[in-house]
Structure 1
Amino acid sequence: MTIDPLDPLVAALSRDGAASSDFDLNPDFKLPQSRKLRPAGVLAGFVMQDGVPQVILTKRSSALKHHPGQIAFPGGKQDEGDADVTAAALREAQEEVGLDPAQVEVLGLLPTHETVTSFLVTPVVARVRGDFTPRPEPGEVAEVFTVPLTHFADPARFSVQSRRWRGLRRSYYTVPYGPYYIWGATARILRGLADRMVA
């Protein structure tokens, strides 16, 4: 019987998980009750390389107004023409990294994550079938790279760091990989996945 390398990931998706936010390591920070969150979808797409599942990540262009140079999943806000956040994630992945939606098999969703920019992000976990050659959209994406799932499946690889933000000390997760400093919302989503994989 052939073992699917993504079986542990699929099992993790079946376990309960809590929603997260950019503020959940900062219990003293009070979010305004009147805030309006905009729905968004990001694609946690997994490709196979030498039998090893790898997640697709991007380094955002340094010319972008929001989060320049940061590591992120392909994705973005849900537009009027999108049926749902999954459709938004697939559309954005096609636009940002050239991933054909026909190659994508959605495996499930992770709990939502609220960002400091007032987006309610739904991570869409998926398998990418066939060959995938990234075509980064130069106005948005400086680089496309992959990281082995095993790197993110171990909560011990994550650490908490902090910096000043709007006059307050804000803590956040980081999970560096080689030259890539992965932090903020991307690291928080991946930490939630790691917790479910070891549950």
Structure 2
Amino acid sequence: MSDPLAPVLDALARPGRPSSDYDLNPEVILPEDRKLRPAGVLVAFDTFGPEPRLHLTKRSSHLRHHPGQIAFPGGKVDPDDEGPVGAALREAQEEIGLPHAHVEVLGTLDPHETVTSFLVTPVLARIHTPFEVIPEAGEVAEAFTVPLSHITPGNFRVESRRWRGSRRSYFVAPYGPYYIWGATARILRSLADRMAG
């Protein structure tokens, strides 16, 4: 029987390239000496239903950074973390109650630079044991899942808005009531492109 995450595994075997919140805005010139803070996010799929499902969160509306946005579990790398992978696993346990022991890390995508000066490593993973999703009070308004079939280039479009005095373009991939955009959508678009070959 074939692995339900075969498209993800195939994507990891293909070459990729770093991405950025500025990819659709080539006129932006970034300073060479900019300081980026390392971070990790967990792009985790479970395979307990008819098709794999990706776990995402909706951030609380009162947070200082990215309030109300759709995000992967994750965050900045702390001194005690084992790099971005360790940060992604720790944050997933804190944000949605996902125990480390229930996760198999499959690999990482190329890093993504955000407008908030983070260098984010997407950590792809398989959730091999069911767990009780417990959204972190105060930080996570909601935890939900999206089917793997939604992560295809045809489900992405480009939108734009004014930001810091200029027009900024970005990917969006809405799913039901969830407006997936920004860094989360850009990382998923990178995965979609690699799965499409």
Query: What TM-score range do you get, normalising by the shorter chain?
Result: over 0.9
Aligned length: 197
Q: CA deviation at 1:49?
A: 3.7
Q: Using the alignment, how far apart are the partners of 2:49 and 2:90 within structure 1?
A: 27
Counterpart in the other structure of 1:163: 161
Q: Would you say 1:189 and 2:174 are equivalent positions?
A: no
Confirm or deny: 8 A CA contact 2:160 2:167 kept in the other structure: yes
Q: CA deviation at 1:34?
A: 1.9
Counterpart in the other structure of 2:33: 34
Confirm or deny: 8 A CA contact 1:5 1:51 kept in the other structure: no
Q: CA deviation at 1:22?
A: 0.3
Alignment of 1:1-199 (within 5 A): 2-152=1-151, 154-199=152-197
Q: Using the alignment, how far apart are the partners of 2:28 and 2:37 within structure 1?
A: 20
Deviations 1:165-193 (A, max 9, x none): 10010000000000000000000000000
RMSD of aligned C-alpha atoms? 0.7
Q: Secondary structure at the match of 2:52?
A: strand
Identity level (%) = 65
Point out where structure 2 has 5 or more consecutive residues left out of the alignment. Answer: none
Q: Using the alignment, how far apart are the partners of 1:114 and 1:177 within structure 2?
A: 24
Q: CA deviation at 1:98?
A: 0.5
Amino acid at match of 2:19: S
Displaced runs of 4 or more, over 4 A: none
TM-score by length of 1: 0.97
Q: Secondary structure at the match of 1:92?
A: helix
Confirm or deny: 8 A CA contact 2:103 2:129 kept in the other structure: no
Deviations 1:108-140 (A, max 9, x none): 101100000100000000000111221011111
Q: Using the alignment, how far apart are the partners of 2:50 and 2:9 within structure 1?
A: 16
TM-score by length of 2: 0.98
Q: Using the alignment, how far apart are the partners of 1:166 and 1:113 within structure 2?
A: 21
Confirm or deny: 8 A CA contact 2:7 2:195 kept in the other structure: yes
Q: Secondary structure at the match of 1:52?
A: coil
Q: Using the alignment, how far apart are the partners of 2:62 and 2:137 within structure 1?
A: 10
Q: Using the alignment, how far apart are the partners of 1:198 and 1:20 within structure 2?
A: 17
Q: CA deviation at 1:63?
A: 1.1
Q: CA deviation at 1:50?
A: 1.9
Point out where structure 1 has 5 or more consecutive residues left out of the alignment. Answer: none
